[in-house]
Structure formats: C-alpha cells, structure tokens
Amino acid sequence: MEQEVLDRVGTLKGKMFSVQLHQDELLYHIGVNNTTFARVQKGIASKEKTNEVLSKAESYVNELWEARHEQ
C-alpha cells in the first residue's frame, strides 16, 4: 500500500501537494498548503480510505490550481 500511495501522490507534486511519512509515528500526513486532510496510520488504514482521502485532496489541489491560473 505504501508504494501505491506514494506513486499516486507523486503525480500531484507539481500542484503543491505533499505527503510526509513520519516513520517514528507511523503516520502519513496528507495535506496541501498546511491544510491537513488526514493522518492515516500505516497498516491499519484500508486501501479504500486512503484512496478516498487522496481523491478529496486531489480535488482540492485541482481547484487551487485552476483558480491560480485564472488570475
């Protein structure tokens, strides 16, 4: 699951999207511009939940991206 998540997020890096893997906390911090979408505990979170969170984040990033380029 970890590799899949990082691969999915990698496509968003050009759009101010980041995922931080805190190995000591065993958490993914998924956020955009300091807005936290979720802390997903590794090994417990289901693939569906992770994808749901990433989809919400992706939608938000796309909205920001479009708004920024309309100016």
pLDDT score of 66 more than 70 = yes
CA torsion through residues 63, 64, 66, 70, sign: positive
* pLDDT at residue number 71: 62
The answer, yes or no, to whether residue 46 has pLDDT greater than 50, is yes
- As for how many domains the chain has, the answer is 1
pTM attached to this predicted model: 0.41
What is the extent of the structural domain holding 32?
Answer: 2-70
For the chain, how far is it from start to end, CA to CA, in angstroms? Answer: 38
DSSP at 21 = E
Confidence band, pLDDT 50/70/90 cuts, at residue 24: very low
pLDDT band at 39 (very low <50, low <70, confident <90, very high): low
Residue 52 has pLDDT above 70, yes or no: yes
What does the DSSP 8-state code read for residue 70? H
